[in-house]
A and B are shown apart, each in its own frame.
Chain A
Amino acid sequence: MIAVIVIIVVVIAIALGLAGIYNGLVKRRNQVSNSWSQIDVQLKRRHDLIPNLVEAVKGYMEFEKTTLTQVINARAAAVSAAPQGPQAQAQAENMLTGALRQLFAVVENYPDLKANQNVMSLQEELTSTENKISFARQFYNDSVMTYNVKIQQFPSNLVAGMFNFSERQFFQAEETDKEVPKVDLKS
């Protein structure tokens, strides 16, 4: 009689344990998906900030028309690339990052611009947005790591196998990202 009770208790305990592991995996998988979407949130924020920056600097930078045009075009390309899938989107966003870097480098040459509060606060906002994109990607990678570790560790790997939890990919820098962007101050 006691043996039966003990067996029932053990079975219930194991079932609860498995349920707990399953729920943990579900939570982490959703965290990974959520953190991926958060990157998009920051990318969109950058798209929205850029027109203001261009307006603010346009008057001062008569001689830097090509740099400004590059930024405007890159932004348009990034916005239209968004629905085309992560590959195209990542490429377009990298082009935009490059164009913005050139613009910031050029701003250093204009003391009038540096004294302009508007421009400086916009630059801070854009710098912050670049940082937020990086940190969102960092958090995405951290979430992927935690999730992948849980999938691979014993005993959660058993549950993961039973319910088809698969590993997620880390966010990787594009090959073009690893090149040093050219900053052309004479164009």
Chain B
Amino acid sequence: MYEQIARNKRASWLLVVGLVAILTALGFVIGLALFGSETAAFGLLGVFGIVAIVWSLIGYYGGSRMVLAVAGAREVSHEQAPQLWNVVEEMAIAGGLPLPRVCVIDDPAPNAFATGRDPRQAAVAVTSGLLATMNRDELQGVVAHELSHVRNYDIRFMTLVGILVGVIALACDFFLRFTLFGSRGRRDGGGGGNVVFLLIGLALAIIAPLVAMIVQFSVSRQREFLADASAVQLTRNPAGLAAALEKIAADPEPLRRTNRATQHLYIANPLKKKKLKETSGLFDTHPPIGERIAILRAMEHGTKLSPEASPVS
């Protein structure tokens, strides 16, 4: 369990480093191609960076409320949903977190999500379908997964990744327009050398946004695995979350109020695929649910009561 967590954290950071590398390479190439100097290009990237950051900050600060409203979540009190409240409170204690806001979404499809840029601004929402189909242990597994997203600062992390991808996309867009549609202000740096960088720049400008998006989705999948492992760290009961995911996978109904923008926040991709996939597509925000269940079930083997199961002597 700790191994899983460490591995996932490493993988996420490697991916982010990859994104930053792409950005640096872009800056270098664009600078040489357009202006004959890297400093100008980095200056430009800085401007794009500020734009992307301001744009994301608006989402970051107003985000929680927006997301909850879009999903149709309503806050509930202890009297209205005692078991749910108790389960959330238990997980908050296990994680040393302040108690988040507890919300319910009226929808028969079982699903859940969490939002909040840090543990003090957190909210957890579950669907009425989830409450109806899960027993206490399974509900606890799902809530633990969602609170782990908050505990690992995933929302903040994914926002950062979003900013990076946004800057890359803006820079490439700018570069493409500049070179294809006009050469105002382009200083002649020196003939042949410039053209080579121009071609490299064009190629990068087309590929880079795609690669950046692929990396972003890959980071999202890594974070889902991390949340699963962190959930087990909270409950110490991998079977609960595994059983919950199995029930969710078996349910054919898609969530009513959802769209591409909010899909990455849920515990299972709410835009349903027709069957359980074996490998993850490049643009999936969630890993295949079969793989997640397999990893969780494998964690159980040290904890079962049967004598041959435990490898530790």
Contact = CB atoms under 8 A, between A and B. Distances in A.
B177 to A, nearest CB: 45
Interface stretch (A69-77, A80-88, A102-110, A135-143): A135-143
A35 B93 CA distance: 9
Top 5 A-B residue pairs of the complex, sorted by shortest distance between their CB atoms: A128-B86, A135-B94, A135-B93, A131-B90, A135-B90
A124 B83 contact: yes
Given A35-B96, A138-B236, A125 B90 contact: no
12 contacts: A38-B93, A124-B83, A128-B90, A131-B90, A132-B89, A132-B90, A135-B93, A136-B93, A139-B93, A139-B96, A142-B96, A143-B96
B94 A124 contact: no
A142 B230 CA distance: 13
Interface string A88-125: 00000000000000000000000000000000010011
Contacts of B83: 124
- The secondary structure that dominates the A interface is helix
Interface of A: 31, 35, 38, 42, 121, 124-125, 128, 131-132, 135-136, 138-139, 142-143
Contacts of B90: 128, 131-132, 135
B95 interface: yes
Contacts of A143: 96
B82 interface: yes
A125 B236 contact: no
A125 B94 contact: no
B90 to A, nearest CB: 5
B96 A124 contact: no
B82 A121 contact: yes
Contacts of A136: 93
Contacts of A31: 96
B74 to A, nearest CB: 22
Nearest to A133: B93
Nearest to A128: B86
Given A128-B89, A132-B89, A138 B94 contact: yes
Interface centre among B83, B90, B91 (most CB of A within 10 A): B90
Contacts of A142: 96
Contacts of A38: 93
Nearest to B96: A139
A3 to B, nearest CB: 32
Nearest to A130: B90
B89 A125 contact: no
A139 B95 contact: yes
A140 B91 CA distance: 14
B86 A139 contact: no
Contacts of A139: 93-96
A136 B94 CA distance: 6
Interface centre among B89, B93, B96 (most CB of A within 10 A): B93
A128 B139 CA distance: 13
A38 B93 CA distance: 9
Interface string B78-90: 0000110011011
B82 A124 contact: yes
B224 to A, nearest CB: 23
A142 B96 CA distance: 10
Contacts of A35: 96
Contacts of B89: 128, 132
Nearest to A35: B96
Contacts of A135: 90-91, 93-94
A125 B90 CA distance: 11
Contacts of B236: 138
Interface centre among A31, A42, A128, A136 (most CB of B within 10 A): A128
Interface string B215-243: 00000000000000000000010000000
A142 B2 CA distance: 12
B86 A124 contact: yes
A125 B86 CA distance: 8
Given A35-B96, A125-B86, 18 more contacts: A38-B93, A42-B93, A124-B82, A124-B86, A125-B82, A128-B89, A128-B90, A131-B86, A131-B90, A132-B89, A132-B90, A135-B90, A135-B93, A135-B94, A136-B93, A139-B95, A139-B96, A142-B96
